[in-house]
Amino acid sequence: MITLAVYGGLDGIRIDYEVGYPGSFWYSGTAVYCLVVIVVNFYILKRTHAHTIASTALISGSIISFFVVLYLESLFKMFEPVYHLFPMIFGDFKFYFVVAVAVWYCWA
């Protein structure tokens, strides 16, 4: 349900005129995948009760590694579909709102 709301709410707001194709599909798809990474890791954190420093670091590292890889891919032209996608995603208020709703739903 969250995936449909995210995709429907964020789709169609970005068009990449530089290369001539609608970038909203990549924007929405990356936002949905970002939410999957965050929600699944928070779900694991919430449902399992025996955490060590290593397990907490691995869960946090999983979330952080997604953002690092997305940032690095958005810097290089050879990853054309996600080129300059990182600043577009994190410069949009709707993305933060959707992440906040998804995290709240996961913890509720």
The pLDDT of residue 6: 59
Q: Provide the 10 A C-beta neighbour count for residue 30.
A: 22
Distance between CA atoms of residues 97 and 5, nearest Å:
12
The pLDDT of residue 25: 72
The pLDDT of residue 18: 57
Identity of the residue numbered 7: Y
> What sign for the dihedral angle of Cα 46, 51, 54, 55?
negative
List average pLDDT for each run of 10 residues in the chain, which is 108 residues long. 59 53 70 87 85 90 95 88 83 81 79
Largest CA distance in the chain: 50
